[in-house]
Structure 1
Amino acid sequence: MAHGQGQLAFTDEVSRDLTLREYGLDPSLDSPLLPNAAVLSALQNLVRLATELCGAPFGVVNIISAEYQHQVGAWGVDPGVCSREDSMCAKVFLSREKTVVPDATLDPRFADSPFVTGEIGNVRFYASVPLQTDSGFVPGTLCVFSDKPQELRPEQVGMLEVLARQVVELLELQHRTAQLDRTYAELRDSNAKLAGFAGRVSHDLRIPLTTILGYVELVEDDPDVQTGTSTAKYLDKIGASGRRMLAMLEDVLSYSRVGGGIQPSYSSLREVAGEVSRDLGIDDDGILDVQDLAVYADRGQLRTLLQNLLTNAMNYRSPERDLSISIGGVANYHGATVYVADNGKGIAPEDRAKVLEPLVRLRRPGDGSGSGLGLATCSSIAKAHGGDLTLSETPGGGLTVAVSFPAGL
């Protein structure tokens, strides 16, 4: 039985330290654990408020790991670390109940503590509230203390409990930040591996495919192959299929590279759109109207985004009217939103979420060629920048794509 209890205690402490790491705190350190700067400043302000409300000169937020007590926020004392065995809070925090002791020298739980006996401190008055999360985890306490005995009124105890809940909110913010950091690191690693894999596959497939297309072109130029014969028709189909496959390989490679090592800077929307329209041969057709806007984005990926959206507008134009495309946007202190609106076929509301998925095509009569990666690539570009992409109907018919880009620092 004793062995079982020891094993359970060991498991609980390992679990405690693992959970603290999820909050971005390293419990193995014998120096103070420091949350990010914004959380640390807010913790110190809450501790200061707690001491003033309770009329105590000292206050700390203690994080208790398997071996240590870490003071991550403090007022009236310098943050420090002590062993968990010496900690006063470690004796009571797992009870999940507030503790108020007018004179610690008279309380058997604390009378022999080095914080009371003078070995580390001379604590007399001591009050603490456990920091309990919604999941039931208790990382530590909010504690105020004094070197003189004193009492707390019920309303002061109530305020201490309120401030403890605010400390928990800050620690949860630290928790979510740590989770986002880990997710971002995993995503960046995954994207790098995907780009490398796609590059290798694309390279391995491109070589035999271009060889096949080269031989097709040689055979097509052979004078013995007569135009209009079955052989010529088969060669034409082989060539068309090969070129489509080669274009899809390029699209897959482009999609896999999105988000990898973006380098945002302010770019002129008009300049980038002009480059794309010249590449697509539509700069002199009178179908494109562009407003200027400063966009904080990776210039290469902004170019890829506009190229995909303009190509889609050309491929899915309406047979009932001449194509017209407008590019513009709005900007404020939050960032910029770029709008690309056309008067083409548009996309039905029930299909808009679906077409943002990779390799999804609607395959409607009269639609142009495509791999089904254009809008998915644009959506990934928006997300890689911390923004979003939405689809809506252009007034009068067509599709409007809105892409948001957060402001630069």
Structure 2
Amino acid sequence: MQDALIDQPRLEELSRQAVLRAYGLPSHAGEATSGEVSPPPELLNLVRLAVQITGMASGAINIITADEQHTIAAHGIKPEVCSREDSMCSKVFQSGEITVVPDATRDHRFVNNPFVNGVKFSIRSYASVPLVSPAGSALGSLCVFTSDRQDLDPERREGLEILASQVIEVLELQLRTRQLADALATVRRSNEDLAGFAARVSHDLKNPLTAILGYAELGEQDDSVSGPAAGYLRIIRGSAGRMLETVQEVLGFSRVGGSITRERVPLAAAVSAVRQDILPLVRDSGAGITAADAELDADPTLLRALLQNLIANAIKYSRPDAAPRIAVLAETGDTQVLTVVDNGKGIATEDRTRVLEPLVRLSREGDPPGTGIGLATCARIAAAHGGSVSITDTPGGGTTVRVDLGPAGPLGASGPAGTAPRGRA
């Protein structure tokens, strides 16, 4: 009854605070001030590049908690903690758009702020971009400022916005890396080949991280930010995106294979949900997806991950001369078999077994970039259900993937990993 009395803004703020805790934020503020621990170098590089691109004197990455602002990385100023009431970023970080103030002494939001009126500082020009998580929660701002009057042209505004997106990708990377480390620690005890697999993944993660840091440093050293800076930013975006994709897929792979809970899952509804998850990919490709009217006895979360991997692969590896056509079929007799049929490039006979192994990718002209984790994840999901994956040709061209999901059982029955039936109220 008491929960019902909490108003919507309060609920939204509590939700935002939960997201901050999930990210491990604020972090590094107090430590950086005391000099014991430095902020992550990739965040420092992004702040420095933001200052260079905008021509401002200083910059900071600020995280806004319920009552404070924590600077987790800064250039031109010393990181500190101030009250949320005194924070300039707290006034605009939930706006959802860039804020550019050429003269804060003439802006009603900031004219009496202690960082503007001389009590703590004398900021005149200020610009910030909200740091918004992929789920839509505002975490804080990437801001730049100076004591002189200055505006930002469209190119510099765009550069600042791109850098803010890079801050989020670095924070996402840190979160996924922590989750990956936790998942690997859990799985390592029961998976004999996980140590070698983790070493290979770590090697693949180092290259894009090196690119992020290297190109950020190049941006700092370049005297003409209007020319090559935009190119550096695009490279930073691509490197961080590839790293996040790898970490997320490895994390998903490492989590498969433990206990499962089977439920009756309508196949058409599961395919429809996956279609919404990858809607931009479907729209851009013009893919047609059909699904059989059937129910499968499977873990709903793992089944959705399986379908998403297979359908996305069917779209990504389509032929350039034909729009993707994908059919999702099911056999629900004594043994449940899920089949995904496409009209794409197909997979050569000699490659059909090894592509189910982690980090194996085919080197074919025109193939999109990837991590080599998707089909390996599908194989582990099938194994968790007591089955396996096999790959054959589609008549007329393409790939047919058959996934054995084991025998059907009573609603809520344990999977092969020994999950107890889901309780009832």
**TM-score normalized by the length of structure 1:** 0.46
Which structure's relative contact order is higher, taking Cα pairs within 8 Å and 6+ residues apart? 2
